[in-house]
Chains A and B, each alone.
Chain A
Amino acid sequence: MAHLHDEKIKELEKKANEIRQTLIESLIEAGSGHSAGPLGMADIFTLLYFHVLEHDPKKPDWPERDRLVLSNGHICPVQYATMAHAGYFSIKETKTLRKLGTRLQGHPHRTSLPGLETTSGPLGSGLSQAVGMAIALRMDGKKNIVYCLMSDGEHDAGQTWEAAMLAGREKLWNLVAIMDRNNIQIDGNTEDIMPLEPLRAKYEAFGWHVIDVGGHDFQELNSAIDEAKAVFEKPTMIIAHTIPGKGVEYMERDFRWHGVPPGKGPEDKFPRDKQGAEAIKELRTLWGRIKSEHE
């Protein structure tokens, strides 16, 4: 994996922007769903699917693939959009999100969509599943890496810590967890709802290797994943500090955008009937940097 060259970073940035547009369009079409988390995790998903993961979109059940477990299933619009861009299915299909008969269920359903490693949504159970996969792969002498993407809010759930304890005891070198540390959950800011800090010290106490990174810095993220793979005596937690709503300015850092799509959110910056168009415009023009945009 090594160092990312400037060209590669540019390519990833472009891809992440396209993925943000796709996921916002799918949310507008769906009329419900979560906005802030998916936007905030778009860079991480892009890096994983377009650089890090050993996977084959044409053979989703390839046994030698790495496993990506999405624990906080409600951010699935970003996973769907990324998978579509990676070639698992057509980008057009992302418009079926949350509609009757869709493979893109409101929360991910594994057997509906090839390429999903699990069914998720109820918070706090993803790390356990990832731990189970890592233990089983190790039993079989396999080298595949299990990546578990988690939210910060789901650290309110006791099960997360049960899994963290077990992973620490088992010294699961093949497990890399990435926490979306965006500081928001549905009811407010995480530190107001149920203080989580010091997260680094907590995971270290449970026997994990912990790395803090900027969640929108491809270089830092990539180095952290390389480091995690080089730590052979412990599981690794990458605490990715992200901006919820990243890429759509009027949503950024605002917990009120956790669980609603454009068109259904707070109206203090844009009225509901303008929210969708504004979000797409921001992403298409790269926040005004491209002046020639005609919408």
Chain B
Amino acid sequence: MSVNPKSKLVKEVLDLKKVGQAPTRNGYGEGLVEAGRKDKNVVVLCADLTESTRSEAFAKEFPERFVQMGVAEQNMASVASGMAAVGKIPFISSYAMFSPGRNWEQIRTTICYNERHVIIGGAHAGVSVGPDGATHQAIEDIAITRVLPNMTVIVPCDAVEAKKATVASVGLKGAVYLRFAREKTPVFTTDKTPFKVGRAEILWDSSGSPSLRSGRSRLDVAVIACGPLVHNALLAAADLEKKGIKVRVINNHTIKPMDEKTILKAAKDAGALVTVEEHQINGGMGSAVAEIITRNYPVPIEFVGVKNRFGESGEPTELIEHFGMSSKHIIEAARRAIKRK
């Protein structure tokens, strides 16, 4: 087991029976309250999804700073822009499918191009939304946000990181997109796990593993993941390592601006990459990695994600399996990437 000791992950990180579980949206809810306590200019707008986006706790503690928008996401984005113009720091909460989905142009023009500091909290991203089906499963949101100038895009890997990202967003500039999931997923980072916007973290590195030190000095493959699937990447890494394959796992939570240095170092150290995201492969985090790699240090990349399809109803774990994003699929992708070296 080659968990990077500096990452301060929970001890039971690989034990699915023991590791705690919570949806990343819970971290958003807790982060909103903390941000609200720290800065009186923080306001929260929500489009009729107060409970499920976890905006509820903020609304209860700061009713005078909470604005119920009704089912009107386009209005919400532009109202937030107007409030930011007067010095407020608005968080806008909805499902990712509707914000930044439905209100993309308002986000582009009235927030990004208009250079306003507004934080977009998109819950229920990914196919793991589950039984609600494809209409409510945003798997295009990273692509449509990362393409915008003046936009930061963050995909937290668990509820603890989600809270940190939410609080950190207050201190950023311009638009910020925070992507959250509906389903409970392992809580494997801790308060002590380093988190800095724009800096990817190495969570696993077999090249430092004592049992493998006698083997090849370099890594075989690096897995770059974001969101709750980072945990699947760790499970895959443990399995690969047992079979003598040396892996690095990177939690690439900030899609934009991406940590080019850490990504390039992984390409140089491993010579082959796998990207993992609960999102369309087209235009997503992996595409952003590929843009960096092809310009600077081309190596084979395999992409784990949704392959140009819409989601469907099902149980979250079934869907992750069905759409090819389980640890088994990450292992297969790693083997393919290594073969292509």
Which A residues have a C-beta under 8 Å from some C-beta of B?
Answer: 67, 69, 109-111, 117-122, 124-126, 128-137, 139-140, 142, 158-159, 162-163, 165-166
Contact = CB atoms under 8 A, between A and B. Distances in A.
Given A110-B114, A132-B79, A166-B69, A125 B85 contact: no
Contacts of A162: 70, 72, 74-75
Given A118-B85, A125-B78, A137-B86, A166 B70 contact: yes
B254 interface: no
11 contacts: A69-B82, A118-B81, A122-B105, A122-B106, A125-B78, A125-B109, A132-B79, A132-B83, A133-B86, A136-B82, A136-B85
A279 B90 CA distance: 46
A119 B113 contact: yes
Interface residues of B, number: 29
Interface of B: 43, 64-65, 67, 69-70, 72, 74-75, 77-88, 90, 105-106, 109-110, 113-115
A162 B76 CA distance: 9
B83 A119 contact: no
Contacts of B113: 109, 119
A133 B110 contact: no
B114 A139 contact: no
A132 B82 contact: yes
B74 A128 contact: yes
Given A128-B74, A132-B85, A140-B86, A166 B109 contact: no
A163 B79 contact: yes
A129 B111 CA distance: 10
Given A118-B85, A128-B74, A135 B67 contact: yes
Nearest to A122: B109
Contacts of B105: 122
Nearest to B78: A128
A162 B82 CA distance: 15
Contacts of B106: 122, 125, 128, 159
Given A122-B105, A129-B78, A165 B70 contact: yes
B109 A121 contact: yes
